[in-house]
């Protein structure tokens, strides 16, 4: 099944990077100067089968600090019980108010990440609709899974436990996921691996791991 993500040519106030510039310095796993602009290095998206939640992973850097991996989810209404994972709110000129979450606390992201790692579903193709025609945006990075669809993907329910560290550990009833916050900075983990390459990083680096329970 082809995974696709519809994008909008829209204005965000504040922007995603402005939200991250205020939010990142308060994270225990953040390394970099506070009070500096955050720049986007690369990124990719997953598809929400229900079409309700935007799922975007961004690789960002603050000043001369290291690259951080920040998965985000975008929702049209608050996610119950997830106030501790809220990055901030923004106004989308097409979609209206959006609640932006650290995706590690969002069950939709957990299911999408498990599918990408264990099922090899890959990233969503990003496109715009312009005058009724589809315009595809070239990906800014590539991701691959070591499992490549060889493992049955279990149904992933709501996270039972989330540890906000590096890596961020997401525990569910059927799978444990680990999201590397600073790619290339730590040791590997057991389980199937999602790796990525991007401009300036031709050698794949682990981004996340998945271990079925």
Rounded to two decimals, the pTM is 0.88
pLDDT at 3 over 60: no
pLDDT at 202 over 70: yes
Kindly list the domain boundaries of the chain, sorted by start residue.
4-212
Residue 154, Cα to own-chain centre: how many angstroms?
A: 20
- Give pLDDT, residue 126: 65
Provide the 8-state DSSP code for 213.
-
Q: How far apart are CA 29 and CA 31, in angstroms?
A: 7
Read off the pLDDT of each residue in 161-182 and give the average, rounded to a whole number: 95
- Give pLDDT, residue 157: 79
Burial of residue 189 (number of CB atoms within 10 Å: 0-12, 13-18, 19+): middle
pLDDT at 32 over 50: yes
The answer to whether 198 touches 59, Cβ cutoff 8 Å, is yes
Read off the pLDDT of each residue in 54-60 and give the average, rounded to a whole number: 96
Q: How far apart are CA 13 and CA 18, in angstroms?
A: 9
The pLDDT mean for the chain works out to 87
Name which residue leads in pLDDT, 133 or 191.
191
Out of 61-75, 158-172, 178-192, which region has the weakest mean confidence (pLDDT)? Answer: 178-192
For residue 25, name the pLDDT band (cuts at 50, 70, 90). Answer: very high
Out of 9-23, 157-171, 197-211, which region has the weakest mean confidence (pLDDT)? Answer: 9-23
The answer to whether 70 touches 60, Cβ cutoff 8 Å, is yes
Which H or E run contains 110?
helix 107-118
| Placement of tokens 């996610």 in the chain | 79
- Give pLDDT, residue 175: 94
- Give pLDDT, residue 4: 47
pLDDT at 191 over 90: no
């Amino acid at each position: 099944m082809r995974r696709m993500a519809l994008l909008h040519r829209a204005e965000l106030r504040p922007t995603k990077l402005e939200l991250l510039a205020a939010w990142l310095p308060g994270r225990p796993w953040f390394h970099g100067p506070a009070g500096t602009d955050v720049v986007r290095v690369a990124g990719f998206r997953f598809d929400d089968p229900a079409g309700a939640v935007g799922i975007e992973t961004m690789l960002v850097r603050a000043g001369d600090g290291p690259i951080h991996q920040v998965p985000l989810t975008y929702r049209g209404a608050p996610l119950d019980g997830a106030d501790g994972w809220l990055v901030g709110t923004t106004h989308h000129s097409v979609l209206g108010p959006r609640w932006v979450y650290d995706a590690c606390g969002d069950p939709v992201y957990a299911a999408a990440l498990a599918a990408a790692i264990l099922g090899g579903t890959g990233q969503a193709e990003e496109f715009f609709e312009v005058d009724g025609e589809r315009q595809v945006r070239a990906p800014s990075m590539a991701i691959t899974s070591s499992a490549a669809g060889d493992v049955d993907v279990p149904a992933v329910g709501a996270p039972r436990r989330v540890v906000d560290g590096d890596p961020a550990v997401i525990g569910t009833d059927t799978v444990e996921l680990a999201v590397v916050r600073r790619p290339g900075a730590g040791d590997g983990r057991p389980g199937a691996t999602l790796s990525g390459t991007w401009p300036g990083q031709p050698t794949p680096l682990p981004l996340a791991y998945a271990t079925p329970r």
